[in-house]
Structure 1
Amino acid sequence: MRTAAKKPYSDAVWDEVELWSRDRIEAFQTDALPKQLDYVANNSAHYKKLFADLGVEAGDIRSLDDIRKLPLTKKQDYVSGLAEDPPFGTFRAVCMTDAARVHYSSGTTSKPAPVLWSHDDLDRWADLYARFLYAQGLRADDVFHCMFGYSWFVGGLGATLAAQYLGALVIPGGSVDTERQIDTILEYRPRCVIGTPSFMAHIAEAAYARGVDLRASSVDMVCVGGEPGASIPGTRERIEAQWGAKMFDCYGALECQPIGWDTALQLGPTLAEDFIYVEILDPDTDEPVPDGTPGVLVLTHLDKQACPLVRWWTGDVVVRDSSVGPDGRTHARLVGGVQGRADDMLIVRGVNLFPSAVEDVVRAHPGTTNEYALVVTDEMKDPETGFLKRVLLRVERADINDENLAESLGAALRNKLNVRFDMEVLDPGTLPRTVHKAKRLLRE
């Protein structure tokens, strides 16, 4: 029998920290934050200069609210640091002899950016991932089939490390060779699969085309990350129906692994508040917003060594709920997961529109495939306000004989989102499939 590297706290909880009171969580953060700020001020060239320029010392941060004395850290700051001190940048806070791993951004909008981990960072990462997988239901005697990419990407090795740490048997499938992935599920009977929502949908389509019913397979856990999806009701319902399994949102980012994952209750990603201090800020004023109000997620590491970040602006719009969950877990949750990116929000005739809201309607609508794309061009904008007057939705019909999809889906979108779309209905298989992060908003 395989044994986990760490004995779980109980049959339902991996670590006692998951049950700490809010007061204890805040006391822990209040103690950890100044120590972490002292560490970055002494070891990160970026923050050493920043603190000096501001005339601020780590000891000046005496409470959690005091962190607002420090500026936000944004992606461009990190990119500028890479240019200033290549190849690993000014945010690096360990000697290279203490660095153990580097992963890279996808590089879809700029040169791929590297992020470092130390040995202790990797151990912490594994334990946090194991905590979340355990909360979702994975156990040491299960088979775990990883379909995240392994090349450069942060997902594959992270998930593998966590499942091994928990004690599960890992199949490192990667995000290639669809037919072999299906064969592996049928032959080796994994209980849990993990990958991007796009790849999980693609696998389900390919299995259906082969006459394979995944609902009858051994899989009863579909874990997804790398893009929004698991917390979008339409997407969750569709993929759960295709697989006959529960789907869990696993939320992280290259710069911060992990942020928060669903538990078995699927109430939204539960934050790792012993690893990160969380702020939710108004995107226009940078002021904190209360629980229940959408804002941008801002993160500060509490114990990261190799590449620690302070007040990292994720750009992700979320809603926080800090109440105790029905299962007794006390760390705050992100209700509905990532609702969109602040820089992806469209304003169409005065209506705020996130691509994830469109996805919810498309995926829930009968007669569509899993694929869609939103298209905006300069010609669609009002020349005076700069706001969009219209937006184009490309969508595939599941049945090539369906002549009414544009009308029925257009009506559903108007009713739900109060936006009128230009519709372009395509035959199945027209839009590109992806094994990594799907790009749903196209600016042409």
Structure 2
Amino acid sequence: MTTSTEFGMRFRRADAVEKKDADCWHPVERMPLEDIRQLQEKKLVAQLGYLKERSPFYQKKFADAGISFDDIRTIADLQKIPFTLKTDIRESLAAKQPFGLHLAADIKDVIQMQASSGTTGSPSYVALTERDAEMWHEMSARCFFANGIRPGDAVLHAFSLAKGFVGGIPIVQALQYMGAIDIPIGADGGADRLLRAAADIRPRCLIGAPNFVLFLGEKAKEILGVEAHELGIERIIVGGEPGGGIPAIRERIEQLWGVKCTELLGGTDIAVTYWAECDEQSGMHMLAMDYVITELLDPDSGAIIPFEDGAEGELIYTAIGREASPLLRFRSGDHVEVLGTSCSCGRTGPKIRCVGRTDDMLIIRGANVFPSAIQSIIGEMVPETNGVMRVLADFEGHTSQTALKIIVERGANRSPDRDAELKTSIAARLRDSLAFKADVRIVAANSFEKPGAAKVALTLRKDPGLS
């Protein structure tokens, strides 16, 4: 019989099972930051040498900026390099199919590709060499381990498995790599199939988008005749959209399923996931500092600021060791708050909460408003509300001088006769907490489509016509 190793393939890391009782997946997660910085700078120099030889995209970018690859030797030197924007990537992909002008590896060495969701435009198509793919698996394994998944665990897969999203095949691969067993139903399989798999297989873990996981928990009784907390799941891992870091949503998930819920964060252009919460549930640690250099950009001043408690800004990424689709100083669009710089788990990466995407931020009469922040407040008002809302941004661009329209589902057992009272209460909570004026509309519970394979879009540009 021919074995997988004879073909050069390895699905499971050789020492995966031995890590089951470890404090963390890889020692680098607990390495002193000064040692991390030295490692990053050594790998940064090597990455720049690679790009100097292999990347016409960055050769041109450096030439246009009047800088040399040899000028960049430290993390501080990175600030000499212009940002790489999502528009740069789209233009690169359009100029040269299939993987753009920024492809820096021979096409014969590309073994895999993935696509972004395309929520802010056309999808990004990302190429991976064998080495790139293994780095992705390693980063994801660290995150899943921090989240509570262990080698040998069965994991019910409730992210979408379609359209080339990183929440699909790359998660299957990473779970195999770390010695866990992926149950590949996917959000595309629907709530019925997922819940029946949970009842039949009794997995220890469930992984998916927070709003969809919440929906699954609410449907368990209807579909299976038992409550979600009776299915034996012990750990839920969520990501892909705001929600896991919103206390009201997390608490509802934990209540329905009777579990601990932890959160992760990533992005297709860099990797599947590289930020993840540990059991402390006090923010997501950066767990891939040997593969990714992260900067924090103050969007108001344009300055790079340190990761200190309470700091807020946009995450900027530089991949180190990347071959096929490398990126320098990539503006992620993820706006985060730093929740801490130390943890009882011993991991040394800073801890963050994602506030929302810069692309989603609205400016209402001078106040910066993230839809996820509105969702958090509406979620806190259950059972008066159903916890479900949408922002109706029926104006051009992201700025308005008028009250922001918010559509909120009333609580399932609440009478429409009390809508005026609820509108006043919601508007007051939003004004006091987020400093903007809201024009609130109350609609019936379950008016909006329930979560499925696609991310929940909190902002609408056209009136859905609900009443």
Normalized against structure 1, the TM-score is what? 0.93
Q: Which residue of 1 aligns with 2:439?
A: 422
Matches of 2:140 and 2:460, distance apart in 1: 32
Q: 1:168 aligns with which of 173, 180, 185?
A: 180
Matches of 2:253 and 2:73, distance apart in 1: 46
Matches of 2:397 and 2:183, distance apart in 1: 47
Question: Which sections of structure 1, spanning at least 5 residues, go unmatched?
Answer: none
Mapped pair 1:206 → 2:219: yes
Q: Which residue of 1 aligns with 2:465?
A: none
Shift of 1:181: 0.7
Q: Which residue of 2 aligns with 1:437?
A: 455
Mapped pair 1:347 → 2:358: no
Q: Which residue of 2 aligns with 1:60?
A: 71
Q: Which moved more, 1:31-40 or 1:104-113?
A: 104-113
Q: Which residue of 1 aligns with 2:410?
A: 397
Q: Describe how 1:282-297 pairs up with structure 2 within 5 A.
A: 282-290=298-306, 291=308, 292-297=310-315
Q: Which residue of 1 aligns with 2:293?
A: 277
Contact 1:380 1:388 in 2 (8 A): no
Letter in 2 for 1:412: R
Q: 2:92 aligns with which of 71, 76, 81?
A: 81
Q: Which moved more, 1:428-437 or 1:75-84?
A: 428-437
Q: Which moved more, 1:312-321 or 1:70-79?
A: 312-321
Contact 1:41 1:51 in 2 (8 A): no
Q: Describe how 1:119-198 pairs up with structure 2 within 5 A.
A: 119-151=130-162, 152-175=164-187, 176-198=189-211
Q: Describe how 1:215-364 pairs up with structure 2 within 5 A.
A: 215-257=229-271, 258-271=273-286, 272-290=288-306, 291=308, 292-320=310-338, 323-334=341-352, 337-364=353-380
Mapped pair 1:118 → 2:102: no
Matches of 1:286 and 1:276, distance apart in 2: 21
Q: Which moved more, 1:238-247 or 1:395-404?
A: 395-404
Matches of 1:8 and 1:209, distance apart in 2: 39
Contact 1:238 1:363 in 2 (8 A): no
Letter in 2 for 1:50: K
Question: Which sections of structure 2, spanning at least 5 residues, go unmatched?
Answer: 1-10, 463-467
Contact 2:386 2:409 in 1 (8 A): yes
Matches of 1:345 and 1:109, distance apart in 2: 13
Shift of 1:76: 0.3
Q: 1:378 aligns with which of 372, 386, 395?
A: 395
Q: Which residue of 2 aligns with 1:411?
A: 428
- Residues 22 and 111 (structure 1), Cα distance of their counterparts in 2 relative to 1, 3 Å cut: closer
**What is the SS of the residue equivalent to 1:295?**
strand
Contact 1:9 1:15 in 2 (8 A): no
Shift of 1:380: 12
Shift of 1:249: 1.2
Matches of 2:402 and 2:234, distance apart in 1: 44
Of all paired residues, the percent bearing the same amino acid is 33
- Residues 414 and 198 (structure 1), Cα distance of their counterparts in 2 relative to 1, 3 Å cut: same
Q: 2:117 aligns with which of 102, 106, 111?
A: 106
Q: Which residue of 2 aligns with 1:29?
A: 40
- Residues 321 and 35 (structure 1), Cα distance of their counterparts in 2 relative to 1, 3 Å cut: farther
Q: Which residue of 2 aligns with 1:5?
A: 14
**What is the SS of the residue equivalent to 1:366?**
coil
Shift of 1:397: 2.1
Letter in 2 for 1:186: A
Shift of 1:9: 8.9
- Residues 379 and 297 (structure 1), Cα distance of their counterparts in 2 relative to 1, 3 Å cut: closer
- Residues 380 and 16 (structure 1), Cα distance of their counterparts in 2 relative to 1, 3 Å cut: closer
- Residues 174 and 77 (structure 1), Cα distance of their counterparts in 2 relative to 1, 3 Å cut: same
Q: Which moved more, 1:297-306 or 1:386-395?
A: 386-395
Q: Deviations over 1:107-155 (max 9, x none)?
A: 3443322111111111111112111211222112211111111222111
Matches of 1:17 and 1:397, distance apart in 2: 48
Shift of 1:55: 3.7
Q: Deviations over 1:354-394 (max 9, x none)?
A: 1111111111212233432111223999xxxx533211111
Q: Deviations over 1:237-295 (max 9, x none)?
A: 22222222121111011101123111121121111211110110111332112323211
Shift of 1:316: 1.2
Contact 2:90 2:122 in 1 (8 A): no
Matches of 1:409 and 1:156, distance apart in 2: 37
- Residues 51 and 347 (structure 1), Cα distance of their counterparts in 2 relative to 1, 3 Å cut: closer
Q: Which moved more, 1:177-186 or 1:129-138?
A: 129-138
Q: Deviations over 1:79-110 (max 9, x none)?
A: 11112112210111111111111111223443
Contact 1:3 1:140 in 2 (8 A): no
Contact 1:380 1:390 in 2 (8 A): no
Letter in 2 for 1:252: G
- Residues 380 and 78 (structure 1), Cα distance of their counterparts in 2 relative to 1, 3 Å cut: closer
**What is the SS of the residue equivalent to 2:168?**
helix
Contact 1:296 1:315 in 2 (8 A): yes
**What is the SS of the residue equivalent to 1:369?**
strand
Normalized against structure 2, the TM-score is what? 0.88
Q: Which moved more, 1:364-373 or 1:273-282?
A: 364-373
Letter in 2 for 1:169: I
Matches of 2:325 and 2:354, distance apart in 1: 24
Contact 2:115 2:165 in 1 (8 A): yes
Contact 2:229 2:256 in 1 (8 A): yes
Shift of 1:302: 1.1
Letter in 2 for 1:190: P
**What is the SS of the residue equivalent to 1:229?**
coil
Contact 2:65 2:82 in 1 (8 A): no
**What is the SS of the residue equivalent to 1:112?**
coil
**What is the SS of the residue equivalent to 2:216?**
helix
